Homo-oligomer: A and B are copies of this chain.
Amino acid sequence: MPRVSAEHLAVRRDHIVAAALRCFARDGFHATSVRDVVRESGLSAGAVYSYFRSKDDLVAAAVEPVVEGLLHAVDEAVLDRGASPGEVVGRLLERIYPLVVEGDVDYTRIAVTAWAEGLRDPAVRGIAQRTYGRVRERLSECVAHWRDAGHLPNDTDPEVLGQLLFSVVVGFVMQHALLGDVDPHRYAAAATLLLPPAHGGADR
C-alpha cells in the first residue's frame, strides 16, 4: 500500500462522512447500510471499512460535528448572564441555523430520523440523551440564574423550565424537517418576543 499523507487521509474521511450524511438525510439511519454509503462515496468497500468498521461508527462520525456545534452554540448563547430567556433562546436559534439548515445537509431531517432510531437503538438513544442532556443542563443553569436575579418567581423549577426552553429548539427542528414552512429568523424573533424579557419577573 502506498504511503499517503495525513491530510489526504483526513480529506478522504471527510468525503466518506459527507456521503454518509447524504444517505442519512435522504433515507434515514435505519434504511441506510454501509453498502449504500460505499456506493454513494464512489470508493471501494475496503476504503470505507478502513475508516469505519460499522454503521454505528459512521453514525457517530456523522452526528459528532453537529453535536459539538450544538453544545458550543449553547455555551455561547448563555455566556451573557444579563440576557433574558427570550434573548438567550433567540441567540441560540440564530447560532444553530448555520449548522443545521444553512449548510449542504439539512440536519433537521437527520435529527428527526435519529429520534425515531433512538426509540429502538440504545446506542443512538445514548448519544441523544447525553447531548440533549447537556444542552438542557445549560438552559437550566440559566433559569436558576434568572430566578436568583428575581426575573422568575422563587419557586421556579429550573429543570423543567430547561426542558421547556429546549422544546423551542426541538419544535423548530421537527417543523422545519416535516412541515417545511418555518422561517428560521422569523421563528427566532418570535421566541425572543414571546419568552420573558429581562425585566419580566417583577409583575409575574
Contacts and interface: CB of A to CB of B under 8 A. Distances in A.
Contacts of A175: 132, 163, 166-167, 170
A28 interface: yes
Most B CB within 10 A of own CB, among A120, A128, A170 = A170
Nearest to A162: B190
Interface string A6-38: 000000000000000000000110110000000
Task: Give the number of times this chain occurs in the complex, counting copies.
Answer: 2
Interface stretch (A48-56, A63-71, A107-115): A107-115
Contacts of A157: 186, 189-190
Contact of A119 (B112, B168, B193, B203): B112
A199 B200 CA distance: 12
Nearest to A159: B186
B174 A187 contact: no
Given A27-B120, A190-B157, A193-B153, A167 B178 contact: no
Contacts of A190: 157, 160-161, 163-164
Interface string A98-111: 00000000000100
Contacts of A189: 157, 160
Contact of A132 (B160, B170, B179): B179
B182 A163 contact: yes
Interface string A170-204: 11101101110011001101110111110110011
Given A168-B164, A170-B167, A178 B119 contact: yes
Contact of A171 (B112, B152, B171, B194): B171
A143 B125 CA distance: 36
Given A112-B119, A113-B116, 14 more contacts: A28-B30, A28-B119, A31-B120, A119-B178, A129-B179, A132-B175, A157-B186, A163-B175, A164-B191, A165-B194, A167-B170, A168-B168, A169-B171, A170-B175
